[in-house]
Amino acid sequence: GAGVSQSPSNKVTEKGKDVELRCDPISGHTALYWYRQRLGQGLEFLIYFQGNSAPDKSGLPSDRFSAERTGESVSTLTIQRTQQEDSAVYLCASSLWTSPSYEQYFGPGTRLTVT
């Protein structure tokens, strides 16, 4: 079946502009995560959605970052007034909340470059 998809694959933007990144999770997956991967680093948790519960935003680095998810479908991560330190790969993952394996399936990521 289809995996997690993300768009765009690559995004180059000028400092100060807003960007919107999209994630399409695996159909039926109730949990959705956003992570950030800076060059040469591990992934950092940003935000988590589970069904209709309030999202866990504890990983968002500043109020310039926000995310939305409609039901159990698409999610968008928005970065306002981008800064050069926002340059990274943004990865999305989804999982079956009820799965005992707790496996998170990752998308290919969006590479964001802020010039």
Query: Token match 């504890």: residue?
Result: 58
Task: Record the tokens describing residue 53, joined without a space.
Answer: 């519960």
Q: Measured from the CB of residue 18, what is the shortest distance to another protein in angstroms?
A: 24
CA distance 33 to 13: 24
Q: Is position 26 an interface residue for another protein (rule: CB under 8 A)? A: no
Least distance (Å) between residue 81 CB and another protein: 26
Binding status of residue 106 toward another protein by CB under 8 A: yes
Residues that bind another protein (CB under 8 A): 31, 33, 35, 40-45, 48, 50, 56, 59, 89, 91, 93, 95, 101-104, 106-109, 111
